[in-house]
Every structure is written in structure tokens, then in C-alpha cells.
Amino acid sequence: MKELLQWLGMEKGADVFQILEHRWYAAEPLSERVVWCIVLFGLLVACINFLPQISMRTSVRVRTFFLRLGMVAVLLFCLNRVELHLELQLNRRQEWVALVDDSASMSYEEANGQSRYALAKEDLKKLQDSVGDSVRLSVRSFSGGTLGETAGKGPTRFKEAISRAALSRSNVDRLILFTDGRDSDQRDLSSIGEDLKARSIQVSAKLFGSASPPRDSQISAEPDRTILRLGEALVVRGAISGEIAGASYTVLLKENSKKVSSVTVTPDMNGRFEFRYRPPKKGKPTYTVELDTKDALAENNQTSFTATIIDEKINVLLIEGFPRFEFKIVKAALEIDELVNLVSITHLPGGGVFVQGNPLHRNPQEGLITSQADLFMYDVVFLRDLARNYFRAGGDTTETRLQNIVQFVTKRGGGLIVSGGSDVYKAGGYETSALAEILPFDLSSSISGQDQFKGMFFVSIPKTAYQHPLLRLLPDDNENRERLNSLRDLDGSNNVGRFKPLATPLMTRMVTVTEKGGRIAEKEAPLMGYIAVGEGKVLATAADTHWRWHLQTEFEDTPLAGMLANAVRYLAPLPGQEPGKPSVSIGDGTPQVGQDLIMSTELRDKNYDPIRNAEIVVTVFRPDESSYRMYPRDLPEEPGHYEYRVRLDQPGLYKVKAKYGNFESEQEFLAGAAAGEFSNLSGDPEGLGRLIEKSDGEWIKDYNSWLASVDKNATQFSAVRDLEAWNSPALLVLFFLLVCADCYVRKRQGLV
């Protein structure tokens, strides 16, 4: 029956269980007149054999008569397009999907020395051998890729994996899960179970891993910055979690797989550690932070990232209002900094300027820079006790050169340092200037009406400021706090009002003021503050006697030199940025597989104005050497800022290139294992149990017994088929046989 139906046009592979009803019908019946004409014509042709002129035996005449009538019947069958309507039940092999968890946590080695992933693959092989050809079994992974020899480094995302493997497909009868059961997103899996039940998909789950967390330690680490100037320290901070109580660990820092530093993490350090390492040469090295000892899961004992080291100096412009003693000390401290290219402009008494260094701008003998383009060649500008009248020289009542310095910060993204003195802040009438808008102080009279506070004092440092990069003189927190608390007293300071709401207070001092009514009061006044303004940063201090910190000979590295080094490094824009050239920035130095990494490209012209609606082409090169392109656009509220997302679905090295015109920039980064996978390595029977419960599924307890008892028989389903019998191979063969039979009979008679 199966073969006959296939000859009549039944689709290949259809397994008929039972025919419930059948009928023949003409899909496009001919008119009655046409049918009778064809019948009469066929009878006429068939009756020719009965003419007496044809010599033929009677039996042959009859045979050829009926054979030709059969040909006419076949012709009518075709012309009427006769079809066979069937209502039947078909057998269908069950469709099973084996969904194997290949996330990072599956690489954990159980007590027998095998990883959970290896055990899952063994069970998968048993399943494939057991079902053979009786079931259509397809294998899928949680990551969406092919199953490799070892587990991947991605997260466990049940919703995405089940939707892709089962819910997005038709006719899935059973879903078999091989997993440790802990969803990385910690979702409630009840809704997924309800979706599976609504689709009549039977769920069977094999859980790997015990309910209690295994004994394991893990490491996390992240660099402060991944783009550095040659000579800057690479700062990496991290922590060890897990089994750290009462134990000491050795953590290694490797550069291109070569050990360059190590630190011992003792129990009293609460698992925290820090590396400060100076890369010896420019390039794009890969750094790995790892535990010196391994445990059951090696994947979470290390983390890697790439860095870009650029041979580029920080161009600092030091402008002095009067050649005082502190100017010489500040200048000397900056000159010996190997990372600084210093240009100093000193205004001399009686007029004229003294220029030292190799100026980047034109006409340095004029003193203050008049061109924005020239000023924007520098990275940091340091204003020292510069009177406001210098910016009004030549009748410039709009103070264009001072506005250029403000633009240098807000538009260029440069760093500005402003120190105290007798001719600055309120003492210099700066409260009505453009500079006042970008200072961390409000230059008000809220603390006192006087312009300066005289007398010796010790600085106070807010608790939250000890960890700030600008005040980081020593790597150790306690030693750094002790160093800052041992700073010498200073002599006098400016009254700068209060800190602005968005400013970061770094230092304060106590002052004695006379309030209305003659009452004497002590108040806390700002001394040093930091604020981010526009694209740049500003550091301002209300004192002018920091040189006293440079004379503390009990320290090998003086506090003033350390603070100046911190300031120019922290305030300077990132290296490698050029106007007109697209930059590539990443929001996360240690991205993980499974996340959408937010990246951005900044585009500025030679005046550092944003370039809108640029045709930027971003090419992403994935670890498997495949690539794709994106064409990001900036938004009206963020001109010149082109943001895009890179889906990290593979572990390894990614390269992102941004091209604009003839300019191109590149950024490399490593996508490591999903760290969230290692936060809890125990199985999650409770979370997976909600999926099993809502889907009316089953736990696989005894795997071999389950393989032997699970129903692998084909299922039946009702179907309707309309077979085009008129256009089927069977009808063609029938017509061919009729013609052959007619020829054979006539040939036996000796007729043509």
C-alpha cells in the first residue's frame, strides 16, 4: 500500500498507518460534450480493427480494441485531472532535541576527575546509540555552536537556549537537558516550562553537580586603563573569592605569558590585591592575572586582557605670573618626569616673557596663546598665580585667551591645574571671569568676605579622598594614608568659597573667621578640589606654598613630585587621540563571553568640534577569523559620539577597526569566560525543578533505566492528502504499458 500511494504521488518518506476514507474526483472536469467527442473518437479508432479489409484474428481484434479504449480512458483521466482525496493516519518518528550545556561552569571536574561536560557528552553518546534510527535526534548546545572537545566559556542562559533549540522549531516531541542547572541570569524558569507544556514538548532533565557548592577559589581582576603611555604604570586591582579564609595565595602577573610580577595575598588582606607594573616597551601586550596554584576548576583561576602601550609624552604648558620660588620647584619636578614634555612661559617684572622648553605653538614670545589650534596642541595647562589683567592685554576686554583655556578644557578635553596666589581667585577678581565656570570652587563669600586666609595650617583630607588617584602617593592604602597625614604645614591660602556640588573635595583646612556681631568661629574651607567639566578635567588648589612638601627630605620621593606626577597623568587626555582620526574605546577592560560590549568612536575635527553624520565603518574581527561590519550614527544630543554594541559569543581575541576617510584606528580586547558562571558551582535542582514542574517533565535519576524505558515508538497523526493521480508516475507507466501491449499484439499478428 505504501509503495502504491507513492506511485500515485504521496510524498517520499510518508509512513501510512491507516486510511480512514478515500474518494476520486476530477479537479478540472471537462464539459460533457467534449467528453462524448473524445469517447466517440476513441471508439472509432478502436473499431478500425474490425474492418474486413484488415486481416486479423478475432481474438486480436478484441484485445487491441480494449487496449485502445484503455488509452482513451487514460487520456480522459489526465484531461479531467483526476485526483485521489485521502483522509488517513500517518506514522511519524518522534523528534527529539538533546540540549547540552557547554557553558563555562560545565568545565568543573567532579570527584572522578572528569568534567561535567565530559560526563554530559558520554550520556549523549549513550542516547544516540540507544535510539538509533527509531527517533529523529538532533543535538544542540546552550551556546548555539557545535559541541567541542571541551566546555566553552559562555554563560548558562536557559531561555535563549531552549527557545532556539525547541520553541522556535515545529514538531518537537521531547527535549532532553544535560546541564548543571544554574541559570546565569538567575531567571525564574517557570515561564519557560509553561511554554514547553503549551507546545506539548516532553521534558527530561539530567542534572550534573551536587546541590552543595564545591570547594573552589576564583580570581577577578581589572586594569584601571588599557591605553597607556610608555612609562606609565599599568594598575591592576583584583580579588580572590571562595576558599580564602585562613589561606595565603600567590598571584602572578604575566606579560605575553612571561611572569613579570607577583604578590602574596594573606588572610588579613580579605582577598584583595593590586599590581603596579611599568611595561618596558610600546605595543599591544596581553596580560594574565592568575593564581599560582590550581584547583578543580582552572577556568576561574585566571583572567586576561590586552593593553595598548603608546610611546607618547604628555605635553604640559606651565604659565607663571611671576618667577617665584615655588615656580622653580614645580618646574624642576615636572622637568625630571620622564613622561612630561614641559614648556614654561614666565611673565617677567616690567614686561616680557621667558620661554623654556620646545614650544609646540607659534609665537611663544607673545606669552599667552591667542590661537585655539595652538593651545589645543598641549595636553595639560598649569596656571600659577596669573593675574587676570594678563588676559586683557592689548585691550582684549572679552578675555579671548582666557576663554580659549576654558575651551581647551571643555572642548579639547585637556587638563587644567590652577594654583593659589596673591593675584588669583577672589584676590584677582576671577569670580566674574569665564574661568570661574570651570573651577571646583564657587568663589563666593559664604565662608568669609576676605580674599585670603593667612597663617600656618595643616591640611585635612576627607576619608573618601585617600583612595583618589590624584592623592595616591604609595600603593599600600595604610602607607599612603600615613604619608598624606605627615604632610608639612602650609603658609596661607585663598578664600575660594565652597566646593561646587559636582566637585570632588580632596583637601580642606580649618579657618578662623569673624562673623557678624564680632563672633569668632571656626569653619572648614576648601583647599584642593577636582571637577570634570565638558570633555576635560580641572584640578585647583587654594594654596601657593606646596613647595614646603618638596622639602620633606625624610621621604625618598617628595609628596609634591608625586602629586604633580599624578595630576598630569590623571588630567591628560588618553594617548593616541588625533583630531580627524576616529578613536575606538571600550567600556569594559575585561569583557566576558555572552555580554554585549558597548564600544564607541569619537570623531573631532582639527578644532575639536564634533563631526556629525560621518560615514564611519566599524569592522569587527571575531576569534574564529570571521568578520562583520557596522555603520554607527551619532545622535543630536551626542554629536560626534558613535556608539555600537559588539556581541561576544566566542572566547578569544577580538579586533575592532573604525575607519573614517583615510584614517583608521584599531582596538583589541580579549573576551574571557563568563565570570558569573563561577559565582556558584553547585547544581541548581530547585531552579531547574520549577521548569520540570511547570512543563510536567521528568528528572532522569537512573540514566540507563530511563534509556531502556523511554517511549521511542512512532506517533500517529491525522492527515489529509490530495494526490494528483493524473500527473503521477503510476499513470505514466500505465499508459506506456498499454502502448507496449498494443504494439506487441499487433506484431505477433505480423501487422505494422
CATH architecture under which domain 94-213+680-713 falls:
3-Layer(aba) Sandwich (3.40)
| Domain range 585-671, its CATH number among 3.40.30.10, 3.40.50.2300, 3.40.50.1370, 2.60.40.1930 | 2.60.40.1930
- Residue 229, pLDDT > 90, answer yes
Reported as half-sphere exposure (CB side, CA atoms, 13 A), residue 682 has a value of 11
d(CA 630, CA 642): 11
**pLDDT tens per residue, range 97-154:** 999 999 888 888 777 778 889 999 999 999 999 988 888 899 999 888 888 888 888 8
Contact 658, 582 (CB under 8 A): yes
| Amino acid type, 541 | T
| pLDDT of 33 over the 90 cut | no
- Whether domain 314-571 has CATH 3.30.420.40: the reply is no
Q: What is the pLDDT of residues 580-635, one digit of tens each?
A: 899 898 888 888 888 889 999 999 998 899 999 999 999 999 998 999 999 999 99
CATH of domain 217-310: 2.60.40.10
Q: How confident is the model at residue 170 (pLDDT cuts 50, 70, 90)?
A: confident
In 3D, which of 712, 691, 589, 611 has the Cα closest to residue 658? 611
Which run of H or E residues covers position 131?
A: helix 116-131
The share of the chain scoring above pLDDT 70, in percent, equals 95
Looking at 502-651, which runs of residues are DSSP E strands?
504-514, 520-533, 536-541, 585-586, 596-602, 617-621, 627-630, 634-635, 638-647
> Considering Cα of 338, then 343, then 348, then 354, what sign does the dihedral take?
positive
Q: Where are the domains of the chain?
A: 2-91+718-748, 94-213+680-713, 217-310, 314-571, 585-671
- Lookup result for grid cell 500517518: 90
* 553 against 490, higher pLDDT: 490
Task: Name the band, by pLDDT with cuts 50, 70 and 90, for residue 313.
Answer: very high
**pLDDT bracket for residue 314 (50, 70, 90):** very high
CA 414 from chain centre, in angstroms, equals 29
CB 477 within 8 A of CB 466: yes
Hey, do 217-310 and 585-671 end up sharing a CATH topology, with the first three levels equal? yes
557 vs 439, higher pLDDT: 439
- Give residue 727's pLDDT: 82
Q: Distance (Å, rounded) from C-alpha 520 to C-alpha 270? A: 47
Coil vs helix vs strand at 297: coil
| Sheet architecture: strand order including 286-291 | 258-265, 249-255, 286-291, 302-306
**Residue for cell digits 490530495?**
722
Q: By three-state DSSP, how is residue 666 classified?
A: strand
Which is more confidently placed, 744 or 344?
344
How many Cβ atoms from other residues are within 10 Å of residue 719's Cβ?
Answer: 15
Say what the pLDDT of residue 536 is.
95
pLDDT confidence tier of residue 460, bands split at 50, 70 and 90: very high
Residue 567 near residue 379, CB atoms below 8 Å: no
CA distance linking residue 392 with residue 381, whole number of Å: 19
DSSP 3-state of 513: strand
Average pLDDT, the chain: 87
Is the Cβ–Cβ distance between 302 and 530 less than 8 Å? no
Mean pLDDT of all residues in 233-249: 80
Query: Could you tell me the three cell numbers for 480?
Result: 599612603
Long-range contacts for 119-128 (Cβ within 8 Å, ≥24 apart)? 119/208, 120/178, 120/179, 120/206, 120/208, 121/147, 123/178, 123/206, 123/703, 124/98, 124/100, 124/178, 126/703, 126/704, 126/707, 127/98, 127/176, 127/707
pLDDT of 63 > 70? The answer is yes
Distance from C-alpha of 380 to C-alpha of 359, rounded to nearest angstrom: 13
Specify the pLDDT at position 484: 94
pLDDT at 353 over 70: yes
- Per-residue pLDDT at 358: 93
Mean pLDDT value of segment 204-215: 77
Distance of CA 350 to the CA centre of its chain: 60
Contacts of residue 638, defined as CB under 8 A and 6 or more positions apart, other chains included, come to: none
**Would the pLDDT of 245 be above 60?**
no
Looking up cell 487514460, which residue turns up?
74
The pLDDT, as a whole number, for residue 129 is 92
Going from the C-alpha of 185 to that of each of 102, 182, 188, 241, 505, the distances in angstroms are 16, 9, 9, 20, 38
Give the C-alpha separation, 257 to 519, whole Å: 68
pLDDT value for 296: 64
| Residues 674/153, Cβ–Cβ less than 8 Å | yes
* CB-neighbour burial class of residue 146 (10 A; exposed 0-12, middle 13-18, buried 19+): exposed
Q: Is the pLDDT of residue 267 over 90?
A: no
Are 141 and 100 a contacting pair, CB within 8 Å? Answer: yes
- pLDDT, residue 752, reads 54
Residue 725: pLDDT over 60: yes
Most distant CA pair in the chain, distance: 153
Is the pLDDT at 217 greater than 70? The verdict is yes
Which of these, 417, 375, 385, lies nearest to 567 by C-alpha position? Answer: 417
* Residue 197 burial class via C-beta count within 10 angstroms: exposed 0-12, middle 13-18, buried 19 and up: middle
Q: What share of the chain in percent tops pLDDT 90?
A: 48
Task: Quote the cell numbers at residue 179.
Answer: 546541564
Beta carbons within 10 angstroms of residue 707's beta carbon: 16
CA angle 585, 588, 589 (to 5 degrees): 90
Q: Which residue has the higher pLDDT, 530 or 52?
A: 530
**Is residue 342 pLDDT above 60, yes or no?**
yes
Residue 28 pLDDT > 70: yes
158 and 183 Cβ atoms separated by less than 8 Å: yes
pLDDT band for 728, please (50, 70, 90 cuts): confident
Determine the Cα–Cα distance for residues 113 and 165; give it in Å rounded to an integer.
30
Nearest to 200, CA basis, from 688, 728, 599, 697 = 697
